[in-house]
Amino acid sequence: MPVERAQESCSLDDYLAMPDHTMDGRIAAARARLGKDALILGHHYQRDEVVRFADFTGDSYKLSKIASEASSRYILFCGVHFMAESADILAQPHQQVVLPDLNAGCSMADMADISQVEECWSKLTSAGLNNAASGGLLPLTYMNSTASIKAFCGERGGLVCTSSNAKAAFDWAFARARRILFLPDQHLGRNTAHALGISLSETVVWDPYQINGGLTPDRLRSARVILWKGHCSVHQRFLPEHADQVRAKYPGIQVIVHPECRLEVCQKADAIGSTEGLIKIIEEAPEGSMFAVGTEIHLVNRLGKRFAPLGKKVITLDDSGCLCTTMFRISPQHLAWALENMIEGRVVNRICVSDDVKHWARVALGRMLEIHG
């Protein structure tokens, strides 16, 4: 996507040479000067030094909804590229969306390239899976995807979903077609299909690097859900034995995991939930509860500190700790640099989705917002 870069902007290198804590006063001062003109959104997986400056924190769905309702001139999205794209898609014409560090991407989103997806769709159509006689086919994409993939789904009658409304999205799609092509996270797709009673034999994985996705015509015809071969590098690291080990070490502990984890991990869990859902489970638990959480380590550590005074123990499911390296890229220095350039009338790292992509992506996101909750 094209990105507008500032001309004669303050040098980012000068900021990056300074310690994190030296940015605190500058960020606070810049926010005070910008006032309601600037809105800072912080994803739960951001590092503490950044997320504490956010006006709102949340998961990708919650922040996208906030962005769609915001009136601020500038939206600074402390997250990753696909989130900033979604904010720009939903933004009003006068608003500008900024991603403080353009290197903050998402490996899962990058696993579904639009040209590969278009080729897959062509193959599935040629195989007769996308016609009335076969019951039809709809594309669904997880929020963690590029704007072009969202637009692809919107143009073909599909929609975007989040981990919290994936089941509702599947129900919506199955009311309209016999089959679903789900992008790009195979684990969320498999877990959702399994929860709906769809057998593993009716769930196949399309590998874009193999001929015909590595699938025979018979396997494709028998499938109800065709999963793209993608995953979250953080959540895929959790293994079933982690649940066994933590239960042996802490009798009575509850294992709760994100649905981007493997099916085998989710089957071991006491509960499965989106990021917001996991937080709610811990919030509503009685004093003395213990949780091993299968999600990103920055959030888990933050929850551990938050709930310790309330008599609740929150630890990571895997002692090695799994952090989102791309989320970690955004630093206080990046945030200060973006804010201080705004004060000087320069907008750095603006995320601009092209109008043609924006139209159909907005259609797909609009359908998501309609079915949520």
- Residue 333 falls inside a structural domain: yes
Judge if 227 and 132 occupy the same domain: yes
> Which amino acid, 95?
Q
Burial class (CB in 10 A: 0-12, 13-18, 19+), 230: buried
Q: How many domains are there within the chain? A: 3
- Residue 362 falls inside a structural domain: no
- Residue 348 falls inside a structural domain: yes
Structural domain range at position 54: 3-103+326-356
Judge if 92 and 167 occupy the same domain: no
Judge if 77 and 149 occupy the same domain: no
Judge if 242 and 286 occupy the same domain: yes
Convert the pLDDT of each residue in 20-47 to its tens digit. 889 999 999 999 999 999 999 998 888 8
Judge if 99 and 206 occupy the same domain: no
42 pairs with which residues across the strands?
57, 78
Convert the pLDDT of each residue in 166-195 to its tens digit. 999 999 999 999 999 999 999 999 999 999
Residues of the chain above pLDDT 70, percent: 96
- Residue 367 falls inside a structural domain: no
Q: What is the CATH number of the domain that holds 299?
A: 3.40.50.10800
- Residue 365 falls inside a structural domain: no
CA distance 156 to 295: 32
350-351 vs 3-4, strand pairing mode: antiparallel
- Residue 312 falls inside a structural domain: yes
99, 263, 316, 352 from 337: Cα distances, Å:
11, 42, 33, 19
H-helix or E-strand containing 214?
none
- Inter-axis angle of helices 275-284 and 297-307, nearest 10: 20
Listed residue (106, 98, 186) closest to 140, CA to CA: 186
pLDDT of 371 strictly over 90: no
Judge if 114 and 208 occupy the same domain: yes
Judge if 140 and 217 occupy the same domain: yes
- Total count of residues recorded for the chain: 373
CA distance 35 to 39: 9
**0.85 cut: is pTM over it?**
yes
The structure tokens listed for 196 are 């709906």
Judge if 259 and 229 occupy the same domain: no
pLDDT of 3 strictly over 50: no
